[in-house]
Amino acid sequence: MGFMAVIGFAVARLRNLFAVVMLTGLFSLTAAVLYVILDAVDVAFTEAAVGAGISTVLMLGTLALTSSEERVEKSGGSKWALVLVVVTGCVLVYGTLDMPPFGDPTAAIHHHVAPYYLEKSGQEIGLPNVVTSVLASYRGYDTLGEVFVIFTAAIGVLLIIGRPQFGRRRSHRMLVGELHESMRTNVILRVGSKLLIPVILLFALYVQWHGDFGPGGGFQAGVIFASGFILYALIFDIDTARTMIPARTTRLFLVFGVLLYTGVGVAGLFLGGNFLDYSVLAANPVSGQHLGILLVEFGVGLTVAAAMISIFFTFAHQEH
Amino acid sequence: MELIGLINYWIVIVLMMTGFYIVIAHDNLVKKIVGLNIFQVSVFVFYITMAKVKGGTAPILAEGITTYSNPLPHVLILTAIVVGVATTALGLALVVRIRDAYGTIEDDDFENQDGEP
């Protein structure tokens, strides 16, 4: 954790935005390691795939479209900012004095609904991974809402910069364009990525369908699946990658994933249960839960993968 | 002795304040988004820290294990990370659009431009 703090300070001081973005990737990776130490394997999985992968690529894309140096400003207002930050920090530290110490099993957070999830989910849902049970079944409403947020964000990106005729004058210094020549001629990169991409896609499918039993699930699988395509587009050619998975297809999947999730909920309504109550989907409540979680996670995976792919291509397409 | 248990929270606060400082003290929009990300990660770490139980293990049910860490914060943060990257992408898209319209991504530069007729 000290390491993370050091990286944070470095990010605050550095002017070169390229280095800042690289450090952010490193920061995320450190956070992922920390999550593993703190027993949150599912979270670590997501952080490693998202923070060190997708968000770094997106930031680099933005830098290539804008500029990679931060201008040095006069330090007039930043003294007051520092004072404000320190004061807020002190107040927060004062607030932590009442917090239960680290790892305390008697802390209030462990005595509300968490014991119920840990004890009952084995019988009610029958899946070993409690995180998946809570995510897709007990708190299915939350997850549905979050899928809608991702869906909305992807639509927002498509609306804001998805239409090339909008801007007056486009920058031609797109990251992918810059790297094209050296990347295309680099045999190691080409062969290595060709070997890796099928494995990445296969691994994504494994994470998707095995998320009920081990760490994994729709969110992680969607991000990993998308990163396979993004790797292809980075090393080979945006247009080739785009013909392989055209814009219409990703938009279709984007909508289909959300509809699948909502559809499973509505199907529960028609079969006499509550919205997002999977127990009525099959004769046996436990297998109904299994079916529901599987379908819902598939919907999540589709939407996340489609959202990430279309966001990436929207950024990458700015060069044309 | 009791204070040692709070060190994790304090580092979270340091990280959070670093992010906060970057957001309010820098004019560059990409830097502001990076600051927001650091702020966000600090909140994630805070939740995951609270979820940890001493002697517990990852919340995947298995034979012979009785103590698990709290799964609920894990669920919240897992979805929050993916939502976070989606909203970051939205923010970056706005930055690209601002750059198109004003030719700069420094905060006070385009505020000055707005002032001119």
pLDDT of residue A49: 82
Q: Write the secondary structure of chain A as one string of H (helix), E (strand) and C (coil).
A: CHHHHHHHHHHHHCCEHHHHHHHHHHHHHHHHHHHHHCCCHHHHHHHHHHHHHHHHHHHHHHHHHCCCECCCCCCCCHHHHHHHHHHHHHHHHHHHCCCCCCCCCCCHHHHCCHHHHHHHHHHHCCCCEHHHHHHHHHCHHHHHHHHHHHHHHHHHHHHHHCCCCCCCCCCCCCHHHHHHHHHHHCHHHHHHHHHHHHHHHHHHHHHHHHCCCCCCCHHHHHHHHHHHHHHHHHHCCHHHHHHHCCHHHHHHHHHHHHHHHHHHHHHHHHCCCCCCCHHHHCCCHHHHHHHHHHHHHHHHHHHHHHHHHHHHHHHHHHHC
Residue B7: inside a domain: yes
State the best of A118, A152, A258 to mutate against chain B, taking most chain B CBs within 10 Å.
A118
A199-243, pLDDT tens digit by residue? 888 888 888 888 777 777 788 888 888 888 888 887 777 777 777
Over its C-alpha atoms, chain A yields an Rg (Å, rounded) of 23
**Mean pLDDT (whole number) for B98-108:** 76
pLDDT at A289 over 60: yes
The pLDDT-based confidence of A166 (bands split at 50, 70, 90) is very low
Residue B62: inside a domain: no
The pLDDT-based confidence of A4 (bands split at 50, 70, 90) is low
- Two structure tokens written together for A172: 């031609």
Q: Quick check: helix, strand or coil at residue B37?
A: helix
CATH code at position B49: 1.10.287.3510
More confident residue, B58 or A146: A146
Handedness of CA B91, B92, B94, B95 (dihedral sign): positive
Task: Calculate what percentage of chain A has a pLDDT beyond 90.
Answer: 0
Q: Which residue type, as a one-letter code, is found at position B12?
A: V
Residue B109: inside a domain: yes
Spatial contact of A85 and B17, defined as CB atoms under 8 Å apart: yes
Q: Which domains does chain A have, with CATH numbers?
A: 1-99 (1.20.120.1200), 129-320 (no CATH)
The pLDDT-based confidence of B79 (bands split at 50, 70, 90) is confident
Q: Which residue type, as a one-letter code, is found at position A25?
A: G
pLDDT of residue A183: 58
Residue B43: inside a domain: yes
Instruction: Point out which residues pair with A69 in neighbouring strands.
Output: A16
A77-110, pLDDT tens digit by residue? 677 778 888 888 888 888 877 777 777 777 777 7
The pLDDT-based confidence of B117 (bands split at 50, 70, 90) is very low
Q: Which residue of A has its CA nearest to B31?
A: A17
State the best of A96, A124, A142, A223 to mutate against chain B, taking most chain B CBs within 10 Å.
A96
Q: Residue A104's closest CA among B34, B24, B98, B4?
A: B4
Inform me whether the C-beta atom of residue A16 falls under 8 Å from chain B C-beta atoms. Answer: no
pLDDT of residue A223: 86
pLDDT of residue A61: 78
Domain of residue B22, residue span = 2-53+67-115
**Range A196-234 burial, b when 16+ CB lie within 10 A, else e:** ebeebbebbeebbbebbebbbbbbbbbbbbbbbbbbbbb
Give the count of domains, chain B.
1
Residue B8: inside a domain: yes
More confident residue, A303 or A234: A303
Task: Calculate what percentage of chain A has a pLDDT beyond 70.
Answer: 83
Between CA A317 and CA B17 the distance in angstroms is 36
**Mean pLDDT (whole number) for B6-11:** 77
Inform me whether the C-beta atom of residue A223 falls under 8 Å from chain B C-beta atoms. Answer: yes
Please indicate whether, in this complex, the C-beta atoms of A149 and B69 are within 8 angstroms of each other: no
- Two structure tokens written together for A198: 């099928």
pLDDT at B115 over 80: no
pLDDT at B1 over 60: no
pLDDT at B23 over 80: yes
Residue B59: inside a domain: no
Residues A72/A73/A78/A79 CA torsion (nearest 10 deg): 90
pLDDT at A246 over 50: yes
What ipTM was assigned to the predicted interfaces of this complex?
0.82
Q: What are phi and psi of A182, to 5 degrees?
A: -70, -35
- Two structure tokens written together for A264: 């499973």
pLDDT of residue A27: 80
pLDDT of residue A239: 72
The pLDDT-based confidence of A165 (bands split at 50, 70, 90) is very low
Residue B60: inside a domain: no
Mean residue pLDDT of chain A comes to: 77
